[in-house]
Amino acid sequence: MEERTQLKKVLKPHWVWAIALGSAVGWGCFILPVVWMDQAGPLGAILGLVIGALLMIVIAVSFGFLINNFPVSGGGFAYAYLGFGRNHAYICGWFLTLGYICIVALNASALALLGKFLIPDLVEVGYVYSISGWEVYAGEIVIASLALIAFAFFNIRGTEISGRIQFIFCATLVLGIVTLTASMLLHSSSTLSNIEPLFNPQIPVWTAVISIVAIAPWAYVGFDNIPQAAEEFDFSPKKAFMLIVLSIIVASLLYSLMIIATAVAMPWQLLVGEQPIWGTGDAVSNVLGITGVLLLALSLCMGIFTGLNGFYVSSSRLLFAMGRAKVLPHIFTKLHPRHETPYIGILFTCLCCLIAPWFGREVLLWVVDMTATGVTIAYFYTCIVAFKLFKWSEKDSVNSGELSKLDGAVSPFKKSLSLLGALCGLTFLSLLLIPGSPAFLGTPSLIALIVWVLLGTIFYLYNGKRYRQVSKKELDYFILGDADPKRKKSINI
């Protein structure tokens, strides 16, 4: 059996927390408050995001358990293999790959959107063409491309560098949002009465709230970067659950603060009715002027940078894990000769994302909307696998003969939560895929989903024979690593 390539254990706890939080609180926190208020009203949007955060914490119970016992790169890909075998691992990994890469691309395109608001004369230079109503300029392509190349460079240079800058960016992000919200609330021209009505009067309250809850897998997707980085922890994987929960709680707080900061500037229904290029930017500009806009721009840049950096980490580690399992070509397992980073996965992500700015932001949004489906599929796999591994009692564990030695496996409460998490995953999928639901995917996003499924099927037919020829013993080793001798049955479930 060939040697299993492994990553260095260099990530510190606060770096990992920053990777999760910074990835969750990206451009959407600053761009979408007006969109969310249009759907549900200020309080409806906050309620939807808080409920979504609580559901994510339920799902996080399963992630914490699996990370603790299987601290390997791959996340949902590895867990789907653990519970259901190689075909399910391929399905989960295929969807997650697109999801992570597209989020990198979308964060880069958000820089161009910021530029269009702050310095349109510089960004809107060199008109190329228009796609689905979005005018593509050479200026925005250059901005997005430079950001993608810069963060690919940082990630190749070393995991320590990407972890350290992630924490600095994340701390700046949190401080910026708190300062901005406090300034908006304390300014003489803003008032809490602008938040009324608390809900959108044109939409039933719970219909509106559910439409916001449905985006939770997308809004908090950053916490899934923690299992992707688990192989590189320089601390006990037992801390992973705490780090996930802290990142989700702080993310929901920051989302809520940005909604409040936007809503207090003027009656929110007027702001929604104006349909500005950047509603939050206009709201802050009207109250705090150029100083507020610069603070907002700084916070948004930090959100974009942390999203770029965090999802470069997760996408490259997922590609590395899939290459190690021979789902993808072996070249993805190569580490940089000097910095020992999975540089092929980083370069591949960068090259894929460099294409995205040429399609315009509207087309990219269609694809990203579709990727929420893939992320939700990974959540479902993780929870249902954890449900299979958790045991109701010591007697149940002994009688089952499966994973009886896993740390924390006997827990009826956590077993119930893992089942609830799986049901949440199915609910999220239903909201996205069942016609008539509040969060049903639009036609372009459904077409993108069908195309990606067809591409995945074609790739599997082409590469599947090689993948199926790898023995189960080898896959166990390549995907799950060196199992404790006491857990020899841990992968036969």
Provide the Cα torsion 375, 165, 152, 90; round to 10°: -20
Q: How confident is the model at residue 490 (pLDDT cuts 50, 70, 90)?
A: very low
Q: How confident is the model at residue 90 (pLDDT cuts 50, 70, 90)?
A: very high
Calculate mean pLDDT across residues 5-34: 90
Q: How confident is the model at residue 492 (pLDDT cuts 50, 70, 90)?
A: very low
Residue 95 has pLDDT above 80, yes or no: yes
Q: What percent of the chain has pLDDT over 90?
A: 46
Q: Which of 294, 159, 179 is nearest to 232 (CA)?
A: 159
Residue 457, C-beta contacts closer than 8 angstroms, at least 6 positions apart = none
Q: For residue 80, what pLDDT is reported? A: 95
Q: For residue 302, what pLDDT is reported? A: 93
Tokens read off for 457: 């099927």
Separation between Cα atoms, residue 455 and residue 32, nearest integer Å: 31
Q: Is the dihedral of CA 354, 360, 366, 369 positive or negative?
A: positive
Calculate mean pLDDT across residues 454-460: 88
Q: For residue 438, what pLDDT is reported? A: 67
Quick: pLDDT tens for 144-185. Answer: 999 999 999 999 998 999 999 999 999 999 999 999 999 999
Quick: pLDDT tens for 236-255. Answer: 999 999 999 999 999 999 99
Rg value, the chain, Cα: 22
Q: For residue 487, what pLDDT is reported? A: 44
Calculate mean pLDDT across residues 485-489: 41
Residue 177, C-beta contacts closer than 8 angstroms, at least 6 positions apart = 29, 254, 257, 258, 261, 299
Separation between Cα atoms, residue 344 and residue 366, nearest integer Å: 27
Residue 19 has pLDDT above 80, yes or no: yes
**pLDDT greater at residue 463 or residue 402:** 463
Tokens read off for 389: 């591994």
Q: How confident is the model at residue 276 (pLDDT cuts 50, 70, 90)?
A: low
Provide the Cα torsion 286, 288, 294, 299; round to 10°: -100
Q: In DSSP terms, which residues pair with 129 in a beta bridge?
A: 136
Contact (CB, 8 A) for 157 and 10: no
Residue 416 has pLDDT above 90, yes or no: yes
Tokens read off for 184: 């908006």
Quick: pLDDT tens for 196-209. Answer: 888 888 888 888 89
Separation between Cα atoms, residue 99 and residue 311, nearest integer Å: 10
Contact (CB, 8 A) for 467 and 326: yes
**pLDDT greater at residue 109 or residue 91:** 91
Q: How confident is the model at residue 84 (pLDDT cuts 50, 70, 90)?
A: very high
Residue 232 has pLDDT above 90, yes or no: yes
Q: For residue 400, what pLDDT is reported? A: 55
Residue 460, C-beta contacts closer than 8 angstroms, at least 6 positions apart = 90, 467
Q: For residue 275, what pLDDT is reported? A: 59
Separation between Cα atoms, residue 193 and residue 179, nearest integer Å: 21
Q: Is domain 13-487 given the CATH code 3.40.50.2300 in the classification?
A: no
Ramachandran angles phi, psi of 204, nearest 5°: -55, 140
Residue found by looking up tokens 């199992």 in the block: 483
Q: Where do the domains of the chain lie?
A: 13-487
Q: For residue 485, what pLDDT is reported? A: 36
Residue 451 has pLDDT above 90, yes or no: no
Contact (CB, 8 A) for 378 and 424: no
Residue 486 has pLDDT above 70, yes or no: no
Q: What percent of the chain has pLDDT over 70?
A: 94
Quick: pLDDT tens for 344-375. Answer: 999 999 999 998 888 877 777 777 777 778 88
Tokens read off for 299: 């916070």
Query: Can you list the alpha helix ranges (DSSP code H) found in 187-278?
Result: 205-213, 216-219, 225-228, 240-263, 268-274
Q: Reduced to 3 states, what is the DSSP secondary structure of residue 127?
A: strand
Residue 427 has pLDDT above 90, yes or no: no
What's the pTM? 0.89
Separation between Cα atoms, residue 280 and residue 263, nearest integer Å: 9
Mean pLDDT score across all residues of the chain: 87
Q: For residue 475, what pLDDT is reported? A: 92
Q: DSSP labels for 444-485?
A: HHHHHHHHHHHHHHHHHHHHHHHHHHS-HHHHIIIII-S--G
Kindly state the DSSP code that residue 188 receives in the 8-state scheme.
T
Residue 4 has pLDDT above 80, yes or no: yes
Q: How confident is the model at residue 233 (pLDDT cuts 50, 70, 90)?
A: very high
Contact (CB, 8 A) for 263 and 42: yes
Residue 226 has pLDDT above 90, yes or no: yes
Q: How confident is the model at residue 229 (pLDDT cuts 50, 70, 90)?
A: very high
Quick: pLDDT tens for 49-61. Answer: 999 999 999 999 9
